[in-house]
Homo-oligomer: A and B are copies of this chain.
Amino acid sequence: MKNDGQFADSALNELSSLLKRPHLFLTITELLGWDEQVYLPPGGAEHRAEQLSALAEAAHAAVSDPRIGEQLAALESPEAFEKLTAPGRAIIRCARRDYDRATKLPAEFVREKAAQTSRAYHAWAAAREKSDFASYAPMLEKNIELVRREAAHLGHGGTGAEAYDYMIDQHDPGMNAAVTEKLFGELKAGLAPLVRRITESPVKARPDLLRGFPVEKQHAFLRDVTERIGFDYNHGRIDISIHPFCSGTGDDIRMTTRYDENNPLDSLFSAIHEAGHGIYEQGLTAGVRHTALGQAAGMGVHESQSRLWENQVARSRGFWRWFEPRFRAAFPEQMRAISPDEFYLAVNAVQPTLIRVDADEVTYNLHIILRFELEKKLFSGELAIADLPRAWNAASRELLGLEPQNDREGVLQDVHWSAASFGYFPSYCIGNMVAAQLWYSALAERPALEDDFARGDFSWMLKWLREKIHSQGKQHDTLELVRHATGGELSPKWLLRYLEERYAPLYLK
């Protein structure tokens, strides 16, 4: 890799050049992962695993290149650091985090974690099949202990509470359990009554009335929608996979959706959600995607971008003023008996469910709060693993008004913990809060924003996000970025206001 000469400081240039290789291996790994979900023939799975293992080795060698350590040490000296601008410092901060993670975890620990999480995954899958939490409990215990040791290796302290803070910070730089708890507490207090009022309302959405939508026409429609809101198909594509996802770098984004003839809104909103992720990546500064200047700020902020397009924008009246006539033109037969009110209500269906991935945007947050509260107690020791199913069911009754009939539709429903992925769930809800706060900030600047949408014009919204969020890369932590973009502290009040303003007129008239 040759020195790309982008920075005035020559040591920074050298560091930037060294960071290119690990970034390329990462994007190659992502492409192979995408291919695995989308096009890999079944018999190629074992060979793919070998390819990924060879790539992981090459990526690890690249990210732990001792020359990176040397450049970092030089740049972190007080004299050198002082001379750097804020972007330079951000590059160093992020590179240090990645380098430490690559070099401070003993190889033996990395191997142990890989083997343990693989075992835990299979134990979870088997336990879920039989709805039998007890058989999986020892694996969960080991996973929590692994994370505690990982946090200790990286200098974040070895207590459970410290380990949980470390995990949250991994996903959302700068966040921790205490900040999250305060935000989620306020959100819960405001959200519970709204959900109760909607659930008790006689108004019921009927998305099940939408039936018989041919897949090819669904595809053409959602491609038009995602392109119009700003996804650049010159630097990306959409394919089909069982679970929708978005991967790749802004130069080449691979997103997916799935199709069901009797559930066109699922394909469409999945695609808009993934397009939101893709639009963010495409908006990160090109040419520096291997440094903090061209990387996403964190998981919560990433989720804010997918959610903002999916929810605030694509479930709005303005959006459908433009797209409903087009939807009806594409599906005249299927839409004949559906009134505009019925259709808009189906777009904004709310119905509490036990399963997180099936949840609407109102109750979704309660699923996350439930998981956060349990994770936190597991790590602090307030909750024993054996008591987890009981605690889960009680929280589900309290928050969602629904009690799982078995572990499969309760504590065993999600895969994340089996991968030792703790502190990940909160990002989803942080993303929802950030999205709503960005939405009202944008509205303050352009009150008639929905009139743009009604004309099929999303360019102001996109430009605003490009400036406030995308162009910032990973230069700020989550809370700083929200401050920078909105001028205020992150608060759940915007999400509560948004949900009230959107859903009360529909369900509580």
List A residues at the B interface (Cβ < 8 Å). Answer: 1, 20-21, 24-25, 27-28, 31-32, 35, 39-44, 46-48, 50-51, 54-55, 58, 232-237, 239, 249, 251-252
Known contacts: A25-B54, A35-B35. The answer to whether A41 contacts B234 by CB under 8 A is: yes
CB-contact partner of A42 in B47, B234, B249, under 8 A = B234
Task: Give the most central of A41, A234, A237: most B CB within 10 Å.
Answer: A41
Do residues A39 and B237 form an inter-chain contact, with CB atoms below 8 A?
A: yes
Q: How far is the CB of A45 from chain B (nearest CB, A)?
A: 9
What are 18 A-B pairs at a CB distance below 8 A?
Answer: A24-B54, A25-B54, A27-B47, A27-B51, A28-B54, A31-B32, A35-B35, A39-B237, A39-B239, A40-B252, A41-B237, A42-B234, A43-B232, A43-B251, A44-B236, A47-B251, A47-B252, A48-B252
Residues of chain B within 8 A of A40, CB atoms compared: 252
Q: How far is the CB of A492 from chain B (nearest CB, A)?
A: 38
CB-contact partner of A51 in B24, B51, B54, under 8 A = B24
Q: How far is the CB of A247 from chain B (nearest CB, A)?
A: 13
The chain B residue sitting closest to A48, CB to CB, is B252
The chain B residue sitting closest to A58, CB to CB, is B58
- 4 tightest Cβ-Cβ pairs between the two chains A and B: A44-B252, A47-B251, A43-B235, A43-B234
A1 to B50, CA, bound (A): 9
Q: How far is the CB of A489 from chain B (nearest CB, A)?
A: 37
A304 to B403, CA, bound (A): 66
Per assembly, the copies of the chain total 2
Task: Give the most central of A24, A51, A54, A239: most B CB within 10 Å.
Answer: A54
The chain B residue sitting closest to A27, CB to CB, is B51
Known contacts: A28-B55, A35-B31. The answer to whether A46 contacts B234 by CB under 8 A is: no
The chain B residue sitting closest to A47, CB to CB, is B251
Q: How far is the CB of A248 from chain B (nearest CB, A)?
A: 8
CB-contact partner of A251 in B46, B233, B252, under 8 A = B46
Q: How far is the CB of A107 from chain B (nearest CB, A)?
A: 14
CB-contact partner of A235 in B44, B234, B236, B239, under 8 A = B44
Residues of chain B within 8 A of A43, CB atoms compared: 232, 234-235, 251-252
Q: How far is the CB of A363 from chain B (nearest CB, A)?
A: 36
19 further A-B contacts with Cβ under 8 Å, apart from A1-B54, A42-B234, A47-B252, are A21-B54, A24-B50, A24-B54, A25-B54, A27-B47, A28-B28, A28-B32, A28-B51, A31-B51, A35-B35, A39-B237, A40-B252, A41-B237, A43-B232, A43-B252, A44-B236, A44-B252, A47-B251, A58-B58
Residues of chain B within 8 A of A236, CB atoms compared: 41, 44
Residues of chain B within 8 A of A51, CB atoms compared: 24, 27-28, 31
Residues of chain B within 8 A of A25, CB atoms compared: 54, 58
A379 to B24, CA, bound (A): 40
A28 to B51, CA, bound (A): 7
Task: Give the most central of A20, A21, A50, A233: most B CB within 10 Å.
Answer: A50
Residues of chain B within 8 A of A55, CB atoms compared: 28
Residues of chain B within 8 A of A249, CB atoms compared: 47
Residues of chain B within 8 A of A237, CB atoms compared: 39, 41
A7 to B40, CA, bound (A): 31
The chain B residue sitting closest to A249, CB to CB, is B47
A1 to B249, CA, bound (A): 29
Q: How far is the CB of A237 from chain B (nearest CB, A)?
A: 5
A25 to B46, CA, bound (A): 15
Q: How far is the CB of A306 from chain B (nearest CB, A)?
A: 20
Residues of chain B within 8 A of A35, CB atoms compared: 31, 35
A237 to B249, CA, bound (A): 26
A35 to B41, CA, bound (A): 14
Do residues A235 and B41 form an inter-chain contact, with CB atoms below 8 A?
A: yes
Q: How far is the CB of A144 from chain B (nearest CB, A)?
A: 30
Residues of chain B within 8 A of A235, CB atoms compared: 41, 43-44
A48 to B254, CA, bound (A): 13
A235 to B48, CA, bound (A): 12
Q: How far is the CB of A432 from chain B (nearest CB, A)?
A: 30
The chain B residue sitting closest to A29, CB to CB, is B28
Residues of chain B within 8 A of A234, CB atoms compared: 41-43
